[in-house]
Chain A
Amino acid sequence: MNWKRTVGLDNLSEEYAFERSESTGYTSAKKIPDHWVPTTCGYCSVGCGIEIGVKDGRAVASRPFAMHPVNRGKLCPKGLSEHYTIDAENRAKYPMLRKNGKLVRVGWDEALTVMTERFRATQAKYGAESLGVLSTGQLVTEEFYTLGKLVQLGFGTNNYDGNTTLCMASAVSGYKVSFGSDGPPGAYEDLERADVILLVGANLADNHPILCQYLEANRNKTLIVADPRVSKTAMMADMHLPVKPRSDLALLNGIAYILIRYNLIDREYLEKHTAGFTELERFLEAYTPERVAEITGISQEVIFKTALLYGRAKAGFIGWTMGVNHSTLGTATVNAICNLALLTGHIGRAGASPFSITGQCNAMGTREAGFTSSLPGYRKFDNPTDRGELAAIWGVDESRLPAKRGLAYPDIVEAAVAKKIRALWIIATNPLVSYPNQDVLRHGLSNLEFLVVQDGYHPTPTTELADLVLPAAIWGEKEGTYTNSERRVSKVNQAVQPMGEARSDFDIFLAVAEKLGWRDELYPGWTTVEDAFNEWRRVSKGRLCDYSGISYALLAEHGAVQWPLTEGAAPNGTSRLYTDGEFQTADGRAKLICADWAPFPEQPGGKYPFVLNTGRTVEHWHTRTKTREVPILERLSPRAWLEMNPRDAKVLGLRSHDSVDIVSRRGRVRAVELRLTEITAPGQVFMPFHFAETNVNEVTQDAFDPISREPNYKQCAVRVERSGANS
């Protein structure tokens, strides 16, 4: 320590100096950058415009990009501190190969040689399908598209999925079943223009706080929030419906029953644009207010009030997130939401939309650029016309395109357990925190002959298990586009050079193709991500998700725009889908779906008396690989907690701040700080899922939606006991 500081002559006044700068105003001098790089936030799917301040080649500041249409000059706490994720201690800087049981630094050439040789050898020995790939909504669309070609046309395996299956696959499946295609019909401005807003299983205040601006700006709304917890969002509501866990589907069906019964439906719209009304009407007879009140715990009067408000609304909006999606009935629940919109005609108009609010920054881009649950451009694997179109664009033989979807995420894990998947490539996702029932996952991964993990950070619980770690450039170090929840395509720009020897995922994919001699065929003439984007524009042309009118030049000039935007059209984008009532089904009609409610799979009782709910907190992002590197976010939310109602705690003799274990049939989470609170209902407990150190997914259930394959994260049976009492 310097002596001047010890005696006090020096008080670090330079370090703490302030300056006036034109771009920032009066502010801490060390935060004033040489220049700002406009880009799009790399956390959630709200898709905020953000500027990275760069000083001497390092990212030193983040601020809202004032011109961006989404965030209106605001960012959430994660966005405001996002520059800390780049220059972080835990970044993966060099390729690391496991030699004699230890990960050691190797050069890129050796890494890619070993990787391609091992993958091809595994495929030669066990068949092409023995290679699995798990990727992510964290990649830019260009990278996701590039990877899809590499996996499906290059490696020839369709056992490829994204972590988006853990997140919003149910919304995708639900839209496909109801409307014939994926694609959220509405826009954020609908939150401002609706007069009745129903949020189901959506805690915007913690998970999408920037969207709360739109709610705040809407002075005419009645906001109804259905959530078993008294979430921060429930506190914003005019009416909070404290539903019993996963009774939302019954509630939605009950509302539909009342709408039909009291003729609050739009018969003209139904006749012109939907199919299946008669069946639905008959089916809903089982969802009388009496029964729905019984299932949901909500009084008949309130169910009526909710139905009347939505039915009589001028523009009714239903938004949902993971409370709906994270469920074995996720797809069905989305269908029930779409039913309400179709019955009342609350779709395709300003303020009126059934609207899924997505998770990751580019979950939407991965949905559209496809190759996982569908072919690029919302094309279907099992549609020969779709396959033919794509084969023609790429100039490849149609037989190289898979005619059916490969294994979904949980099925890849199961196949690893069954030794059908023998090599796995995990890209920018951290299943060792995020996958339900970690025991099964660990078993599956331990069966693999070769595991490659490509990530911006190392060590993470997942990279620690890898045979090969590929260091990837992250947000701020690479270029591309993200598409947000409202279909808005927004440019992602590079502000600083990648850390160490890290390379962008795009570069890595091209290098792998190069090693295998596939580059010229798969990526003819490509050198930059823009080349990938331009091919993707051609692929999407004429589809619902038409990007053909969106170019990097247009994004630079006009800012982020919503798809569809056809080549040659005015650069405004499209706020809403289905404004003409024409849907993406064979007959152009949306389908009304009979979606039956059932209790969640693992009911509490006996040794496991509590229902465990999981979710997020505003300070952290997903598995915390990024946000644990941000000191201020760690300061604000340093550890996990378990919420329990004081009435239950009294019976168990537990107090706030006690250290407790959460135990299910599958595992145990140790030493979690107990929070006694009236946020959570008696009989239920809640825990955030971000923390590897106390990972709630040790106990969650590996039960999956039959269509979307999304896990039922939000309900499982547990008991809570004092740590060290009985272990």
Chain B
Amino acid sequence: MTTLPLMESALLSTVAKSLVQIEIEPRPLIPARPLEAGEQYRFHFDMTKCIGCKCCVVACNEQNGNPAELNWRRVGELEGGHYPHTQRYHLSMGCNHCVEPSCLIGCPVEAYTKDAKTGVVLHSADTCIGCQYCTWNCSYGVPQYNAERGVVGKCDMCHNRLDDGMAPACVSACPEGAIAIEIVNVAEWRRDYLSANAPGLPSADDSISTTRVTLPENLVPDTGRVDLHRVEPEHPHWPLVFMLVLTQLSVGAFAVLWLLDMLGRGTGLTIAALASLGLAGISLGASTLHLGRPIYAWRALKGLRRSWLSREVLTLSLFAGAASAFAGMLWFDMQGRGIVGMLTFIAGIAGVTCSARIYVVPARPAWFSTYTLAEFYSTALMLGPLFVQMLEGNVPSWVRIAAIAGASSQLITQLLKFLWLSRSEVFELRASSLLLSGRLQNLFVTRLAVLGVAGVVLPLVATRGGIIAAAFAAALAGEWLGRYLFFVSVVPKNIAAAFTSGERRAA
């Protein structure tokens, strides 16, 4: 006789358990009392009740008038065990209204506030300039960019409804009562926020999520996301690809010009200086195209206290200013250039550093390492000297060696990073490596080959202007390609998704 095993969950204890439950009043879905000092609102999600109907998602979109592509509340699927002892659960998540909201910390324009009364993390669409930095900072993929509006948006717990004593849309739509609003004491939660973690959720350590998740008893240990085999390349952010490489080039070039000037090659550098300045200007201008609302780019200086993006804007602006002065002084052969050149160099290095720090965020694990810094510095070190050499022709050999060092360092950085990714047991890191060795393999190999040829071999063997120009052009294209890969190959942390969801698959 063939007998399949039985999925039988606590049948015998049902009666006893249900007797106990009858005595418990059903928990109200929104708080019955006002908040006291040190408290905030939070979501409670009961995974044992959710049946995965996605009413909450639809209700949220209707409540907020959002297009279908944006979902401030999402439902993910989890699966574990083996047939017929399979376990299936769902995870419904809006914003976690974290104690240390990484969206808020990163925002350059202070569009985010943590409401003093409710603890709700609020976002102002009027303040937002659409830089999308918050979408990289959140480990849960909560803030979503609305391209139609040019600003980000996110779940605000329907706090205006709560103020009126009404339940948020998701809470009131759930047929199973799986979502509720609770009051949490923030200090206590900081001490123990273990129940903010669940299968299918990134670690609550990143930002101290306040959402409490009730998990099923006897959850099998392998219960996890069902969407792990669908890894799509991320958005390339073309204006940033363009801008990052050119600013780094410009910083590298001014560093070389400054040193050459200090070492007595004071004349004839004007063309290179003006060209470098031109590239820096173009790239900084172009970078505003990345913004949903470019006209408000100036607001990005508001968040200096917290945001690396604000700091990048400041340092690169200082760099541009100093570089202009330095170029002008070169042009008119003015005295005291050494100091200005040094200031240009310092501001430039600071700018590249701030640029890199933007990307070093826990929510994007493949960026969250010193490789990001190394990659950006290497670009400056390779392209700057090559650029100057191309324009100036006859330069000391240390310039060539610097370019070769930059290219070598970039090559080593890329290889080590790939090794790190591919040997990691962290899903997002490994998935990044699989993108690079899979769908993006041709581009990745091309990028490495260009580095080797244009950055190392050609500068080693050739000094002729034409070849150096070709080497520079190839190296520049290679760095653009590299930065493109940097953006598309990162696999962000996110909450579990459904097996089929989102856009139609590419053919």
Chain A residues engaging chain B, CB cutoff 8 angstroms: 5, 7-9, 11-13, 15-16, 18, 20, 25-31, 61-62, 73-77, 80-81, 205, 209-210, 212-213, 216, 219-222, 230, 232-242, 290, 293-294, 297-299, 302, 305, 618-619, 631-639, 641, 645, 655-657, 673, 675, 677-682
B108 in the interface (beta carbon within 8 A): no
Known: A7-B294, A8-B294, A302-B6. A80 touches B62 (CB 8 A): yes
User: Chain A: which residue is nearest B69 at the CB level?
Assistant: A635
Partner of B158, one of A8, A26, A75, A656: A26
Interface majority SS (helix, strand, loop, mixed), chain B? loop
- A297 — which chain B residues lie within 8 A by C-beta? 2-4
Q: How far is A219 from B21 in the complex, measured between Cα atoms in Å?
A: 7
- A638 — which chain B residues lie within 8 A by C-beta? 500-504
- B498 — which chain A residues lie within 8 A by C-beta? 636-637
Q: Closest CB of chain B to A254's CB: distance in Å?
A: 13
Contact B83 A230 (CB under 8 A): yes
Known: A635-B501, A681-B83. A26 touches B166 (CB 8 A): yes
- What 1/0 flags go to B173-184 for Cβ under 8 Å of A? 111110000000
Contact B83 A298 (CB under 8 A): no
Partner of B49, one of A31, A216, A290, A682: A216
Question: 27 A-B Cβ contacts within 8 A?
Answer: A11-B292, A16-B65, A26-B163, A28-B62, A75-B55, A76-B55, A77-B58, A80-B58, A80-B59, A81-B62, A230-B83, A234-B7, A235-B87, A235-B89, A239-B6, A293-B1, A298-B6, A302-B8, A632-B57, A632-B61, A633-B58, A645-B83, A655-B229, A657-B230, A675-B500, A678-B82, A678-B86
Contact A11 B151 (CB under 8 A): yes
Q: How far is A213 from B177 in the complex, measured between Cα atoms in Å?
A: 9
Known: A26-B160, A232-B51, A678-B79. A641 touches B8 (CB 8 A): no
Q: How far is A30 from B63 in the complex, measured between Cα atoms in Å?
A: 10
Known: A11-B126, A632-B68. A5 touches B150 (CB 8 A): yes
Contact B160 A18 (CB under 8 A): yes
B10 in the interface (beta carbon within 8 A): yes
Contact A28 B175 (CB under 8 A): no
Contact A238 B229 (CB under 8 A): no
Contact A205 B58 (CB under 8 A): no
Count residues of chain B with CB under 8 A from any CB of chain A.
Answer: 82
- B158 — which chain A residues lie within 8 A by C-beta? 26
Contact B55 A80 (CB under 8 A): yes
Q: How far is A232 from B79 in the complex, measured between Cα atoms in Å?
A: 11
- A73 — which chain B residues lie within 8 A by C-beta? 172
B84 in the interface (beta carbon within 8 A): yes
B130 in the interface (beta carbon within 8 A): yes
Q: How far is A11 from B64 in the complex, measured between Cα atoms in Å?
A: 15
Q: Closest CB of chain B to A701's CB: distance in Å?
A: 24
Contact B504 A639 (CB under 8 A): yes
B505 in the interface (beta carbon within 8 A): yes
B461 in the interface (beta carbon within 8 A): no
- A222 — which chain B residues lie within 8 A by C-beta? 11, 14-15
B423 in the interface (beta carbon within 8 A): no
Contact B54 A619 (CB under 8 A): yes
Q: How far is A31 from B65 in the complex, measured between Cα atoms in Å?
A: 7
- A293 — which chain B residues lie within 8 A by C-beta? 1, 3
- What 1/0 flags go to B72-96 for Cβ under 8 Å of A? 0000000111111011110000000
Chain B residues engaging chain A, CB cutoff 8 angstroms: 1-4, 6-11, 14-15, 18, 21-22, 49, 51-55, 57-59, 61-65, 67-69, 71, 79-84, 86-89, 125-126, 128-130, 148-151, 158, 160-161, 163-164, 166, 169, 172-177, 226, 229-230, 291-296, 498-505
Known: A7-B293, A232-B52, A294-B2. A634 touches B68 (CB 8 A): yes
Known: A9-B295, A298-B3. A238 touches B8 (CB 8 A): yes
Q: How far is A242 from B86 in the complex, measured between Cα atoms in Å?
A: 11
Q: How far is A391 from B296 in the complex, measured between Cα atoms in Å?
A: 79
Q: Closest CB of chain A to B30's CB: distance in Å?
A: 12
- A657 — which chain B residues lie within 8 A by C-beta? 229-230, 505
User: Chain B: which residue is nearest A211 at the CB level?
Assistant: B175
- A239 — which chain B residues lie within 8 A by C-beta? 6-9, 11
Known: A31-B62, A678-B81. A212 touches B51 (CB 8 A): yes
8 closest A-B pairs by beta carbon, nearest first, are A8-B293, A28-B65, A631-B68, A242-B84, A240-B7, A26-B160, A678-B86, A230-B86
Q: How far is A235 from B79 in the complex, measured between Cα atoms in Å?
A: 11
Contact B8 A230 (CB under 8 A): no
Q: How far is A210 from B175 in the complex, measured between Cα atoms in Å?
A: 6
Known pairs A12-B148, A235-B88 / 10 extra A-B pairs, C-beta < 8 Å = A8-B291, A8-B292, A74-B174, A80-B55, A80-B173, A216-B175, A618-B54, A635-B71, A636-B54, A679-B86
- B126 — which chain A residues lie within 8 A by C-beta? 11, 13
Partner of B499, one of A20, A233, A641: A641
Q: How far is A233 from B174 in the complex, measured between Cα atoms in Å?
A: 16
Q: Closest CB of chain A to B345's CB: distance in Å?
A: 34
Contact A230 B22 (CB under 8 A): no
Contact B150 A11 (CB under 8 A): yes
Q: Closest CB of chain B to A630's CB: distance in Å?
A: 8
Partner of A77, one of B21, B55, B82, B84: B55
- B6 — which chain A residues lie within 8 A by C-beta? 239-242, 298-299, 302
- A682 — which chain B residues lie within 8 A by C-beta? 83
Contact A76 B81 (CB under 8 A): no
Contact A677 B79 (CB under 8 A): yes
Known: A9-B295, A242-B7, A302-B6. A678 touches B83 (CB 8 A): yes
Q: Which of B9, B79, B81, B86 has the most CB of A within 10 A?
A: B86
Contact B229 A680 (CB under 8 A): no
Q: Which of B57, B83, B174 has the most CB of A within 10 A?
A: B83
Q: How far is A614 from B63 in the complex, measured between Cα atoms in Å?
A: 34
- B87 — which chain A residues lie within 8 A by C-beta? 235
Q: Closest CB of chain A to B219's CB: distance in Å?
A: 12
Contact A220 B501 (CB under 8 A): no
Q: Which of B58, B82, B173 has the most CB of A within 10 A?
A: B58
Q: Closest CB of chain A to B294's CB: distance in Å?
A: 6
- A27 — which chain B residues lie within 8 A by C-beta? 63, 161, 169
Partner of A8, one of B57, B59, B150: B150
Q: How far is A31 from B2 in the complex, measured between Cα atoms in Å?
A: 57
- A30 — which chain B residues lie within 8 A by C-beta? 65
Q: How far is A657 from B161 in the complex, measured between Cα atoms in Å?
A: 41
Q: Closest CB of chain B to A174's CB: distance in Å?
A: 27
Q: How far is A677 from B82 in the complex, measured between Cα atoms in Å?
A: 9
Contact A205 B130 (CB under 8 A): no
Q: Closest CB of chain A to B315's CB: distance in Å?
A: 24
Q: Closest CB of chain A to B89's CB: distance in Å?
A: 7
